[in-house]
Structure 1
Amino acid sequence: MTLDPDQTGEIPLGPVTEWTATVVGVHRLREDTTVVRLIGEFVPFAPGQSVEVRTPQHPNMVRRLYSALPPSLDGKLEFHVRAVPGGWCSGSLVTDTRAGDEWRITAPAGWLAVHEAAAELILVADGVGLAPLRALLLDLTRRPHPPRTHLFVGARYPRDLYAADMLALLGNELPWLTIVPVVDSDTDPAHPDPWYDQCRVDIGFHPEELVPGPLAAAVSRFAPLSHQQILVCGGTTAVETTVDILVDTGTPLENIRYEAF
């Protein structure tokens, strides 16, 4: 399936407006992954949407990122950034972002959203596609009766589950949420990742909790998903494959919303 821009909902909210935010925390979690936290002007995006950012390192380059937090009046933002192989801008965001950097933010867009009437929700996150789905989860905690939710999180190796500690805590705290970690291989590669070793914590997923991938195949074991709302976000290949296999196994396309990058 080829993703259609009309389907992915790249619709800006009104006229172009720019907001500024200052980096207050940079947390390098993996060799290729960084979490950036900012505080600044209130940005009127919806949970699950992305925004365009310009950074001082590349002021003339625009990168579209998904907030991992729902909008807050105190201007807090969080972005999960993964370096794309050969990607100049994404690599620089991971390695060169510093506290005190001022980011310019524009163009909220996207259509990942949870229906008010949804009784059961399936979230499928490939890599840093977790960010907007986490924002939606945090927004759901504000509802008096959140829908029963299953979050599938996909990665190549166990150590690529960069938010395992946060997800384990969420899964323990929210009785309506089930986390399903999916890995292509249950063994980490031989080459070390010094950032992973520095960030290693005791909270996370046990080996017996890991579901063998790939992500699309793991989700399809529960198909057809005829009455659930499904949101999928991540790399283009993973998203296309997941949507295709769900539709092919009987899930109505109208039940699915997806964003790819």
Structure 2
Amino acid sequence: MDSRAAALVRTTFKAVAAEEAGPEEVAGSFFAILFSAQPQLREFFPASLDTQRERLVSALAHVVDRLEEPDELLPFLAQLGRDHRKFGIAPEHYPAVGKSLITAVRAHARTELWTEEVEHAWQECITLITRTMIVGAQDCGTPAVWTGTVVEHHRVLDDLAVVRVRLDQPMRYAAGQYLSVQVPSRLRMWRYLSPAGPSNAEGEIEFHVRARTGGWVSPALVGHTAVGDQWLLSAPMGGLGIPRNTRRKLLMIGYGTGIAPLRAQLVAMARRRSNPRVHLFVGGHHPCDLYDLVTLSELAAANKWLTVTPIVESEENPWWYFDSGDPTPDLPGLDPRRTGQIGAVVAGYGPWADRDVQISGSPSMVQTTKFRLMAAGTPAVNIRHDPLF
């Protein structure tokens, strides 16, 4: 797309998002219009569309912000096309999807804002999205889904579990990517998870899962998963595992289970002969939230290019924690633990202008940390994170 068309799409989307109804209403209208035109598609989605509405808004915002960055946008759209095969979406469904989305945006845009030129810009945008997704889905040569059997479920904390799954066939993914899973108790409800280690010939994947308050899937993954359960897993997505320049030093910032994709990259890097300097900041609210420090300590002690700094917001563990002591005292290879909000602590070290920066955690943590780093002088172009689904 040319810069004029991209600007029109971006301006329209942000204007609609600023309205009282907001982008969530646009997403709701989109699904209503789509299912009215293509009622057979309704059975591909869960009864509750809350998560799908949130993801549609996040994905559309991610695309709109990168319309003039084809090197970032096109691989993301191709991955999205591969991922959508899990729903049963076929090429013949895409025209209705695109038309429904334009109709929904037009319905929520102010009349004076929606001109013929804007309409053409949105049609160009939707054509770019749908064509790239279709090509990505058709050219991948991988299964639409993999079947995995749970071989281990370890409850690390009351609301956090480590789950190991063995696939029916190996999956190739870059360390740092993520994929979506479906569990038997939550049919058609797909949850994005990041493998905590690189891919392997045995087809085993380790996931770190935290139960999200009010969530549909994550509480079931943590509290009700059993060895022998059969999961479905979709094609990998994301670009954190593809550094722009491997010679540049890295700054990694992970909070909670957001450490998983960063940990996967560190394990993969430890198998190489040489690596750039890496400074990893790993954060949690309480000391017990730093649940994987033993592994990170071992990696740091064995690899001099890696520095690991733990950060907590509170030095006290919660009342419900089973042990009142520090869960990981006196571990080798780690910097002294810092106290504070992770973005503020990391930004306090300096501008990090010479680093390729990766941030992984909740959407609010990613956004806050990114803004703090930019305010401290970190160039925005150096900062990477996955779409904030």
| TM-score (normalised: structure 2) | 0.62
The yes-or-no answer on 1:119 pairing with 2:248 is yes
Residue 233 of structure 1: how far off its partner (Å) = 0.5
Query: Helix, strand or coil for the counterpart of 1:24?
Result: strand
Query: Helix, strand or coil for the counterpart of 2:235?
Result: strand
Aligned to 1:132: 261
Residue 47 of structure 1: how far off its partner (Å) = 1.2
Q: How does 1:95-106 map to 2 (within 5 A)?
A: 95-106=223-234
Residue 182 of structure 1: how far off its partner (Å) = 0.5
Q: How does 1:243-254 map to 2 (within 5 A)?
A: 243-254=370-381
CA distance in 1, matches of 2:293, 2:382: 28
The yes-or-no answer on 1:158 pairing with 2:282 is no
Match of 1:229 among 332, 335, 356: 356
CA distance in 1, matches of 2:192, 2:150: 17
Residue 161 of structure 1: how far off its partner (Å) = 0.7
The yes-or-no answer on 1:67 pairing with 2:67 is no
Q: Deviations over 1:129-175 (max 9, x none)?
A: 00000111111123221111111011001111111222222221221
Query: Helix, strand or coil for the counterpart of 1:138?
Result: helix
Match of 1:76 among 204, 208, 220: 204
Query: Helix, strand or coil for the counterpart of 1:58?
Result: coil
CA distance in 2, matches of 1:120, 1:150: 8
Distance 1:28 1:247, change over 3 A: same
Aligned residue pairs total: 258
CA distance in 2, matches of 1:102, 1:170: 32
Query: Helix, strand or coil for the counterpart of 2:179?
Result: strand
CA distance in 2, matches of 1:205, 1:97: 33
Larger % of strand: which?
Answer: 1
Q: How does 1:20-35 map to 2 (within 5 A)?
A: 20-35=147-162
Give structure 1 regions of 4+ aligned residues with deviation exceeding 6 angstroms.
205-208
Q: Is the 8 A contact 1:22 1:100 kept in 2?
A: yes
Q: Deviations over 1:68-124 (max 9, x none)?
A: 111112101011000011112111100011111111111311111333433311100
Aligned to 1:215: 342
Aligned-pair identity in percent equals 35
Query: Helix, strand or coil for the counterpart of 1:88?
Result: coil
Q: Is the 8 A contact 1:156 1:185 kept in 2?
A: yes
Distance 1:237 1:205, change over 3 A: farther
Residue 181 of structure 1: how far off its partner (Å) = 0.3
The yes-or-no answer on 1:17 pairing with 2:144 is yes
Q: How large is the Cα RMSD of the aligned pairs?
A: 2.6
Distance 1:164 1:106, change over 3 A: same
Match of 2:165 among 21, 30, 38: 38
Q: Is the 8 A contact 2:287 2:327 kept in 1?
A: no
Aligned to 1:52: 180
Structure 1, unaligned runs of 5 or more? none
Q: Is the 8 A contact 1:118 1:229 kept in 2?
A: no
Counterpart residue type for residue 372 of structure 2: I
Distance 1:205 1:213, change over 3 A: farther
> Which one scores higher on RCO, CA 8 angstroms, separation ≥ 6?
1
Single out whichever of 97-106 and 202-211 deviates more from structure 2. Answer: 202-211
Q: Is the 8 A contact 2:255 2:284 kept in 1?
A: yes
Larger Rg: 2
CA distance in 2, matches of 1:105, 1:208: 37
The yes-or-no answer on 1:107 pairing with 2:235 is yes
Structure 2, unaligned runs of 5 or more? 1-56, 67-71, 83-135, 138-142
Q: Deviations over 1:45-73 (max 9, x none)?
A: 22111101011121221111101111112
The yes-or-no answer on 1:256 pairing with 2:256 is no
CA distance in 2, matches of 1:209, 1:82: 26
Single out whichever of 207-216 and 57-66 deviates more from structure 2. Answer: 207-216
Q: How does 1:171-250 map to 2 (within 5 A)?
A: 171-189=300-318, 191-194=319-322, 204=331, 209-250=336-377
Residue 204 of structure 1: how far off its partner (Å) = 4.3
Q: Is the 8 A contact 2:293 2:328 kept in 1?
A: no
Q: Is the 8 A contact 2:300 2:333 kept in 1?
A: no
Query: Helix, strand or coil for the counterpart of 2:191?
Result: strand
Q: Is the 8 A contact 1:118 1:228 kept in 2?
A: no
Q: Is the 8 A contact 1:164 1:203 kept in 2?
A: no
Query: Helix, strand or coil for the counterpart of 1:231?
Result: strand
CA distance in 1, matches of 2:375, 2:338: 22
Q: Is the 8 A contact 1:155 1:161 kept in 2?
A: yes
